[in-house]
């Protein structure tokens, strides 16, 4: 008997995570890991203490499957004030096991056979597989390098290409702002154009806003769900992992109109039952941190951004300066390697630094073979060490 014949078609249409594979390679070779987006920092002390206290006070059994009421209240308040999306904690909020589960639960809640989902590329590597798992056909729209502004290359989509991607079969479009891997922050004009197309083609927007508190140069974060015409056709996905340096806690949430929330909650219930109850209690403390926390967060990451941009440029990379998140996409054409994967393995083994091959963020690997992503959520000491190693590239090629 051939076990290959027993595999689902879906499981053969995508690979395991390249990002997490690069982390394993870094561990094998004792390399500095600039690949996986795991913050080098710890959650604030008051948030950690709140988790310990919740465990000691007995919050160790299931909560309501779609989230502890007090945590949903805190999320609704944050969404109403920060995202400008009026949110009812009873009707509009689903707490999930990370934003990754939130995205998949959302897609499973709305997708039928024959539906299409538009995805901007390069994209966070989960979006393609999530679309396939949910049963939809992914339709990709490229974010292309556009004219440099103040010497920094920008990325945007072509309006005609975006319009052509929409059809009667378009159930949804996924917007990630700030974007991973580019760090692109979608402008109000771009979001308005997307909103107009969603209304014209009766489509739903699913926004991934996990990096919403990490935006630089005083750019604003704009939630598509705050547009009046998008109130009833936007699913907003976010979470606590990145902002509060707690990726292992798996606290995400989805905010959506009543009817969509009912469907999302059903999918979430049968996928994971519920997020960790004591950590939800601590999530309340996180969401109640003062404005100074977020101001200091941006200052800290902006310093890291500038440091790594300078290091990579001096090491021979062509860089794209991120407007948000904590990743830098680079071009490696100057180094003479046949593709990004070959470069990735050489960089780990010979230089001692890990990054992510750009092809993992594209629907077709050839589109990303000259691209390479680094992350800068590390301590200054680690970034200094990585910089010392990266400066050796030119001498070793």
Cα–Cα distance list, 126 to 94, 131, 170, 293 (Å): 20, 9, 19, 29
Exposure of 327 by Cβ count < 10 A (0-12 exposed, 13-18 middle, 19+ buried)? Answer: buried
Cα–Cα distance list, 175 to 312, 365, 379 (Å): 28, 21, 30
* 281: in domain: yes
**How far from each other are the two terminal CA atoms of the chain, in whole angstroms?**
48
CATH code, domain carrying 28: 3.90.1150.10
Would you give the DSSP letter of residue 324? B
* 55: in domain: no
| DSSP sequence for 180-208 | TTT-----HHHHHHHHHHHHHTT-EEEEE
Residues 310 and 240 in one domain: no
Residues 227 and 325 in one domain: no
- Cα-Cα-Cα-Cα torsion 108, 246, 178, 231, nearest 10 degrees, comes to 50
The domain boundary residue, chosen from 262, 287, 312: 287
Per residue in 149-173, pLDDT (tens digit) is 555 567 899 999 999 999 999 999 9
| Across 36-45, 160-169, 180-189, 372-381, least confident range | 36-45
* 49: in domain: no
CATH code, domain carrying 261: 3.40.640.10
The tally of domains found in the chain comes to: 2
Residues 111 and 11 in one domain: no
Per residue in 348-362, pLDDT (tens digit) is 999 999 999 999 999
Residues 104 and 19 in one domain: no
Residues 245 and 118 in one domain: yes
The domain boundary residue, chosen from 287, 314, 339: 287
Residues 355 and 212 in one domain: no
Write down the mean pLDDT value for the chain: 94
* 347: in domain: yes
Percent of the chain with pLDDT over 70: 98
| DSSP sequence for 78-144 | HHHHTS-----TTTSEEEESHHHHHHHHHHHHH--TT-EEEEEES--TTHHHHHHHHTPEEEEEE-E
Residues 27 and 125 in one domain: no
pLDDT at 148 over 90: no
pLDDT at 18 over 60: yes
Query: Please, which pLDDT band fits residue 316 given cuts at 50, 70 and 90?
Result: very high
CA angle centred on 45, ends 42 and 49, rounded to 5°: 120
Per residue in 65-115, pLDDT (tens digit) is 999 999 999 999 999 999 999 999 999 999 999 999 999 999 999 999 999
Residue range(s) defining the domain that contains residue 363:
3-43+292-396
Residues 222 and 275 in one domain: yes
pLDDT at 218 over 70: yes
> Which pTM was predicted?
0.95
Residues 211 and 240 in one domain: yes
* 52: in domain: no
């Amino acid at each position: 008997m051939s076990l290959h014949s027993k595999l689902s078609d879906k499981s053969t249409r995508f690979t395991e995570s390249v990002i997490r594979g690069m982390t394993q390679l870094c561990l094998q070779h004792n390399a500095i890991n600039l690949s996986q987006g795991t913050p080098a920092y710890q959650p604030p002390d008051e948030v950690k203490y709140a988790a310990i206290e919740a465990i000691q006070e007995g919050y160790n059994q299931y909560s309501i499957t779609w989230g502890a009421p007090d945590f949903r209240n805190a999320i609704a308040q944050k969404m109403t004030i920060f995202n400008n999306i009026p949110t009812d904690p009873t009707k509009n909020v689903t707490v999930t096991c990370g934003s990754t589960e939130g995205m998949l639960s959302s897609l499973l809640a709305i997708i039928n056979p024959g539906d299409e989902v538009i995805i901007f590329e390069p994209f966070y590597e989960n979006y393609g597989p999530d679309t396939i798992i949910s049963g939809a056909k992914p339709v990709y729209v490229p974010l292309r390098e556009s004219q440099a502004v103040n010497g920094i290359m920008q990325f945007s989509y072509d309006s005609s290409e975006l319009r052509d991607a929409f059809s009667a079969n378009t159930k949804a479009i996924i917007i990630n702002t700030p974007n991973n891997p580019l760090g692109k922050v979608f402008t109000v004009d771009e979001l308005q154009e997307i909103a107009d197309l969603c209304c014209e083609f009766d489509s739903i927007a699913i926004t991934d806003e996990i990096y919403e508190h990490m935006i630089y140069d005083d750019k604003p974060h704009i939630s598509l769900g705050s547009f009046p015409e998008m109130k009833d056709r936007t699913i907003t996905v976010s979470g606590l992992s990145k902002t509060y340096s707690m990726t292992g806690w798996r606290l995400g949430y989805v905010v959506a109109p009543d009817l969509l929330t009912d469907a999302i909650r059903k999918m979430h219930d049968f996928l994971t039952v519920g997020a960790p109850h004591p950590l939800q209690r601590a999530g309340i403390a996180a969401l109640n941190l003062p404005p100074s926390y977020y101001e200091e967060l941006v200052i800290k990451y902006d310093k890291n951004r500038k440091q790594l941009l300078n290091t990579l440029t001096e090491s021979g990379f062509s860089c794209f300066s991120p407007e948000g998140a904590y990743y830098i996409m680079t071009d490696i054409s100057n180094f003479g390697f046949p593709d990004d994967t070959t470069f990735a393995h050489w960089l780990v083994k010979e230089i001692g630094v890990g990054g992510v091959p750009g092809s993992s963020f594209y629907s077709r690997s050839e589109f990303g073979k000259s691209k390479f992503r680094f992350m800068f959520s590390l301590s200054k000491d680690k970034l200094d060490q990585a910089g010392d190693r990266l400066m050796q590239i030119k001498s070793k090629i």
